[in-house]
Amino acid sequence: MENVLYKPFFNATREVFQLMLDISNITDKPLCVDGVCYPAGNVDIAIRVIGDMEGMVVYHFPKETSLKIVKIMSGGMEFNEVDEFVASAMGEIANIISGNVMSALSTQDITCDILPPEFIAPETIADASAKYKFVSGMQICSEIGDIDLNILLNVKSGAEKA
């Protein structure tokens, strides 16, 4: 299942960065193959997944990366701190990426939907990692900074299509 998820998440992130932020030099690398990472000082956004797979995807946006993304999205407005506007923008980026992944998975007969983004605390991530199987972790690297993803999903019984 890991390979089924890793590539769609990387491709969706690359496409969103290209279309929304005009950033095309995107690379990736596996992250925390032995378990979930909890990077400190981030805007942590969870997108819950329901359907053939259930769980969540946690996006860890470092402060500096978040500020750079919002500067691009807002047409050059400077932000010095992560406020509600910046956090909301990171939630929207995570939402768009996750929606694109669910669309890509549907072409493989994996039917899932996402719930609205939510801000998540490290202790909630720890609780989720005990409840859901750790599927994959990756770091998306770009010229404006890195984003870490933890994909925590259980495949529902009878949905092992991939």
Residue 137: partners with Cβ closer than 8 Å, 6 or more residues away: 30, 31, 32, 33, 36, 37, 148, 149, 150, 151
One pLDDT digit (tens) per residue for the chain, 162 residues: 556 788 899 999 999 999 999 998 999 887 754 555 655 568 999 999 999 999 999 999 999 999 999 999 999 999 999 999 999 999 999 999 999 999 999 998 999 999 999 998 777 777 777 777 767 788 899 999 999 888 888 887 655 544
Other C-beta atoms within 10 Å of 124: how many?
15
Kindly list the structural domains of the chain, giving each domain's residue range(s) and its CATH number in brackets, ordered by start. 2-155 (3.40.1550.10)
pTM score, whole prediction: 0.86
pLDDT tens profile 139-151: 899 999 999 888 8
pLDDT tens profile 116-129: 999 987 777 777 77
